[in-house]
């Protein structure tokens, strides 16, 4: 009887309940996954593919005209038109990336080495050094514009004996790019320092102790212990900063707006000018965005390969 | 049976009543109680809101002036056009937008409305042409000239009227120091007051690259040299890079040489800044930004600030660059809202309201108000403004204006600010790129 009851209990009603419970778990899972997936598809995946489609079309988002298929013409115009200034924009971006990332690595790593040893006030100094990277790039751009001002700013005051007779950093075609590099280095060296500090603190002390017993010089210890141990994190910093340098926009707009002429016009600034600012060349700007994306992916791959090689030893 | 039919009849009557009721409610909803106008974020938009409040007091129709920062003003309007949205009933759009607004069907044709009500005759011809008419000379109107504006000049009277300066200037240049009547005099005065050791500079000129600042500044000189942005049949080669244009650009660069340092990407805000902080003896700026200079709370030199209109060029031409905007009705709103918008424009265009518009601070385009003694005497710059509005000129207003603008800004900034290349090279490159743009757009044949 008890068995019969148990059978009755585990009959169709209970099975339905169990099914409901199982379905319910799946539903809950779906409820978590699908909104995110839908959001991703709408906000990331669809625009990604739609902009790829638009890059093969002549299209302006404000023209009320449907996209007109032009094949590779937008890409040809960017890469092969003799009067195209896009190569110049890529050159400016490349110079900027090499200079700013290179200097950030040197200064960031140097700061990390200095702050590696704990001393009285080192925590406060580390926090103060980190402040620039917490600021908004547009704000940084605008106040450095004032700092570089030849008549009112303090930069020339410190660099030259006669501030008024000093250089106009933001209007000189050669110095303007350096001005942006200086600000970027000031802002982002702390980030590199932070990564390097975490790498340095992870190096076991016994390595140095063993080296000291073997009478290894400080330089030898640095070259054979410190550098190889920090290299993976340093490469990650290079990767992040290079990607950011290729997207440099807000700081450049805040400081120079790409001037004088297009001497400091990075690819991102040019992209903005093509996509908006009265032009609204949506098709051509989509093509340019894809070229930038391909360059960033290529550069990132090179770094990741290098990173793997370093890890494999 | 009868009861069944009665029930059906009752249901039909109820349904019809509901439809009529809903329809009536819809009709009631359609009655316009609010008008929305989009404009840039600046003082004149506040003045328009004040005028709108008076309209509400008279008619009960609320007027909202939505303000968008200048940097994103066009983007916001363009996005609304693309969506064919009805968020705004009217826009006080920049003069160069009119071609796009008309060609792409965003602006309502106001020709019959303006002609029937005689509104087109109440404003100065130049403002009607540049803020309202498209294509030029067609007699088709799409905007009511609302905020007239032009490039003018502010100067430090205390410096100009200083006895030592006057004597030294006359000795150096052979004529008395006074507001310039020619561009050559303007250059002499700029050179005279160029005193970097005293942190005083001769002149402030536009150099901004982001939108149209440098082009506005240069074209003020270019027009005064007798050059236009294109010739017969939209030809730019030989026009944009003509000998006179090269002369005008070299002259503009020379003026920039007397400008305060740090004005390498300067527009209206930076011009007022260098004047207010005492660095510039003279500045160019749109009249719309002169009220700040007349305010002692903002400008310590307000009491000794004078104003003059753009002087004459070396070949006898006298023009200044046009600013300002016209009020257009958007095509995507309902007929009721269109009619309500037209009613507002009709009211706004009356001489009485235009007088009020000028009193609150708006730059009216109404001929009668502009010529009235009360208007001319009400501020120190109104006389120069009224004078300037008789010789204004504008650049392209075709839909491709943004593309035409870009090479001018880029090449001229590189030459004027960066000192790269020559004026001839800058203008040759500009002309070639503009030629390609106009060919591609179908204005000229290859």
Residues of B in contact with A165 (CB under 8 A): 196
Give A147→chain B minimum CA distance, Å. Answer: 10
Which among A148, A150, A279 has the least Cβ separation from residue B403? A279
Q: Cα separation of B184 and B97, whole Å?
A: 34
Quote the ipTM score: 0.72
B265 and A164 in contact by Cβ < 8 A? Answer: no
Distance between CA A280 and CA A293 in Å, rounded?
Answer: 20
Q: Do A151 and B261 touch (CB under 8 A)?
A: yes
In angstroms, the CA B129 to CA B126 distance is 5
Contact indicator for A263, B420 with CB cutoff of 8 Å: yes
Residue among B216, B184, B378 at smallest CA distance from B285: B216
Burial of B176 (0-12, 13-18, 19+ CB in 10 A): exposed
Q: What is the CA radius of gyration of chain B?
A: 26
> Mutation test of the interface with chain A: which of B262, B332, B398, B409, choosing the one with the most A Cβ atoms within 10 A?
B262
The residue behind tokens 């901004």 is B208
Q: Which of B137, B128, B59 has its CA nearest to residue B95? A: B128
Identify the CA nearest to B212 among candidates B393, B434, B406: B406
- What was the pLDDT predicted at A8? 47
At residue A308, the pLDDT reads: 86
**Could you read off the pLDDT of A123-135 as tens digits, one per residue?**
899 999 999 999 9
Computed over its alpha carbons, how large is the radius of gyration of chain A? 28
Instruction: Report the C-alpha gap between B381 and B388 in whole angstroms.
Output: 11
CB B306 within 8 A of CB B114: no
Residue A234 near residue A105 (C-beta atoms within 8 A): yes
Would you say B264 and B209 are in contact if contact means Cβ atoms under 8 Å apart?
no
Confidence of residue A164 (pLDDT cuts 50, 70, 90): low
Distances (CA, A) of A84 to A81, A88, A90, B7: 5, 8, 11, 78
Select from A116, A254, A269, A88 the least CA-distant residue to A184: A254
What is the distance between the alpha carbons of residues A75 and B373, in angstroms, rounded to a whole number?
60
- With a cut of 50, which residues of chain B have pLDDT below it? 1-2, 19-29
pLDDT of A53 above 70:
yes
Q: What is the arithmetic mean of pLDDT over A3-20?
A: 54
State how beta strands B392-393 and B320-321 pair: parallel
Short-list B303, B298, B256, B297, CA closest to B280: B256
- The DSSP secondary-structure symbol of B200 reads B
Alpha helices in A202-217 (DSSP H): 205-213
Query: CB–CB of A68/A57 below 8 Å?
Result: yes
Phi, psi (degrees; rounded to nearest 5) at B312:
-85, 145
Measured from the Cβ of residue A1, the count of other Cβ atoms closer than 10 Å reads 5
pLDDT at A199 over 50: yes
Report the distance separating Cα B326 and Cα B143, nearest Å. 5
Please tell me the distance from the alpha carbon of residue A231 to that of residue A309, in angstroms, as a whole number.
Answer: 11
- pLDDT at position A13 is 57
CA gap B241, B434 in Å, rounded: 11
Please tell me the predicted confidence (pLDDT) of residue B88.
97
Residue pair B157/B282 in contact by the 8 Å Cβ criterion = no
Burial class (CB in 10 A: 0-12, 13-18, 19+), B366: buried
Q: Do B236 and B290 touch, CB atoms closer than 8 A?
A: no
Chain B hits for A171, CB-CB cut-off 8 Å, are: 264-265, 417-418
Torsion of CA A50, A54, A56, A59, to 10 degrees: 160
Name the phi and psi angles at B66, rounded to 5.
Answer: -90, 130
Alpha carbon of B403: minimum distance to chain A alpha carbons (Å): 5
Residue A261: which of B84, B279, B413 has the nearest Cβ?
Answer: B413
CB contacts of A149 in chain B (<8 Å) are 261-262
Pick from A48-52, A57-61, A116-120, A243-247 the range whose average pLDDT is largest: A48-52
The 10 Å Cβ neighbour count of residue B372 is 18
Pick the residue with more confidence: B247 or A312? B247
Q: What is the pLDDT of residues A210-240, one digit of tens each?
A: 999 999 999 999 999 999 999 999 999 999 9
Q: Do A261 and B196 touch (CB under 8 A)?
A: no
Nearest alpha-carbon partner for A236 in A307, A155, A136, A138: A307
User: What is the C-alpha to C-alpha distance for residues B39 and B77, in angstroms, rounded to an integer?
Assistant: 9
Higher-confidence residue of A309 and B176: namely B176
Backbone angles phi and psi of B224, in degrees to 5: -70, -15
Q: What is the pLDDT of residue B31?
A: 83
Check residue B72 and give its pLDDT: 80
> In chain A, which residues have their Cβ closer than 8 Å to the Cβ of B264?
168, 170-171, 259-260
């Amino acid at each position: 009887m008890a068995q019969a009851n148990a059978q009755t209990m585990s009959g169709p009603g209970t099975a339905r309940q169990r099914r409901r419970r199982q379905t319910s778990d799946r539903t809950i899972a779906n409820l978590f996954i699908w909104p995110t997936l839908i959001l991703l598809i709408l906000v990331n995946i669809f625009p990604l593919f739609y902009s790829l489609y638009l890059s093969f079309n002549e299209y302006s988002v404000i023209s009320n005209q449907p996209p007109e298929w032009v094949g590779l013409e937008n890409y040809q115009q960017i890469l092969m038109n003799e009067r195209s200034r896009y190569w110049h924009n890529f050159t400016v971006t490349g110079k900027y990336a090499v200079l700013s990332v290179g200097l950030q690595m040197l200064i960031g790593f140097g700061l990390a080495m200095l702050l590696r040893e704990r001393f009285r006030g080192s925590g406060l100094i580390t926090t103060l050094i980190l402040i620039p990277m917490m600021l908004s790039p547009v704000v940084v751009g605008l106040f450095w514009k004032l700092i570089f001002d030849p008549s009112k700013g303090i930069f020339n005051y410190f660099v030259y004996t006669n501030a008024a007779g000093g250089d106009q950093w933001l209007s000189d075609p050669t110095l303007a790019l350096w001005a942006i590099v200086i600000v970027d280095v000031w802002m982002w060296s702390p980030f590199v320092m932070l990564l390097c500090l975490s790498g340095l603190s992870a190096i076991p002390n016994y390595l140095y102790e063993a080296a000291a017993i073997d009478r290894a010089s400080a330089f030898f210890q640095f070259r054979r212990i410190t550098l190889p141990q920090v290299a993976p994190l340093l490469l990650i910093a290079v990767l992040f900063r290079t990607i950011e340098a290729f997207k440099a926009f807000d700081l450049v707009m805040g400081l120079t707006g790409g001037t004088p002429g297009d001497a400091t016009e990075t690819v991102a600034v040019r992209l903005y000018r093509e996509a908006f600012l009265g032009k609204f060349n949506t098709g051509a700007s989509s093509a340019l965005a894809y070229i930038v994306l391909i360059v960033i992916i290529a550069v990132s791959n090179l770094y990741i390969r290098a990173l793997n090689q370093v890890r494999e030893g | 049976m009868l009861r069944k039919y009665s029930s059906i009849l009752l249901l039909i009557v109820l349904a019809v009543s509901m439809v009529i009721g809903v329809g009536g409610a819809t009709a009631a909803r359609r009655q316009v109680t609010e008008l929305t106008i989009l404009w840039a974020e600046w003082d004149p938009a506040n003045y328009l809101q004040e005028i709108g409040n008076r309209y509400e007091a008279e008619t009960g129709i609320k007027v909202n002036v939505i303000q968008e920062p200048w940097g994103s003003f066009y983007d916001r309007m363009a996005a609304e056009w693309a969506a064919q949205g009805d968020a705004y009933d009217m826009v006080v759009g920049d003069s160069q937008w009119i071609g796009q607004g008309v060609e792409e069907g965003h602006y309502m044709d106001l020709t019959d409305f303006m002609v029937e009500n005689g509104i087109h005759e109440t404003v100065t011809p130049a403002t009607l042409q540049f803020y309202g008419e498209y294509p030029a000379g067609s007699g088709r109107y799409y905007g009511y000239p609302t905020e007239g504006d032009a490039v003018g000049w502010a100067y430090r009277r205390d410096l100009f009227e200083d006895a030592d300066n006057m004597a030294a200037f006359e000795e150096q240049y052979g004529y008395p120091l006074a507001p310039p009547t020619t561009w050559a005099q303007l250059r002499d005065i700029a050179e005279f007051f160029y005193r970097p050791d005293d942190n005083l500079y001769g002149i402030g000129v536009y150099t901004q690259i982001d939108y149209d600042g440098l082009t506005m500044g240069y074209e003020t000189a270019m027009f005064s040299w007798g050059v236009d942005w294109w010739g017969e049949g939209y030809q730019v080669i030989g026009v944009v890079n003509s000998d006179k244009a090269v002369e005008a650009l070299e002259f503009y660069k020379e003026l920039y040489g007397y400008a305060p340092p740090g004005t390498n990407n300067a527009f209206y805000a930076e011009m007022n800044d260098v004047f207010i902080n005492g660095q510039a003896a003279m500045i160019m700026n749109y009249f719309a930004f002169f009220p700040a200079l007349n305010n002692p709370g903002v400008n310590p030199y307000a009491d000794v600030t004078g104003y003059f209109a753009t002087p004459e060029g070396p070949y006898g031409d006298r023009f200044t660059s046009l600013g300002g905007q016209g009020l257009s009705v958007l095509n995507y709103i309902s007929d009721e809202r269109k009619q309500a918008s037209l009613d507002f424009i009709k009211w706004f265009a009356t001489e009485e309201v235009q007088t009020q518009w000028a009193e609150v601070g708006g730059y009216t385009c109404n001929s009668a108000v502009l010529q009235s003694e009360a208007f001319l005497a009400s501020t120190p710059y109104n006389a120069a403004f009224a004078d300037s509005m008789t010789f204004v000129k504008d650049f392209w207003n075709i839909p491709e204006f943004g593309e035409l603008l870009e090479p001018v800004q880029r090449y001229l900034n590189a030459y004027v600010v960066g000192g790269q290349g020559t004026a001839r090279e800058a203008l040759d490159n500009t002309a070639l790129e503009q030629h390609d743009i106009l060919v591609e757009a179908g204005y000229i044949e290859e």
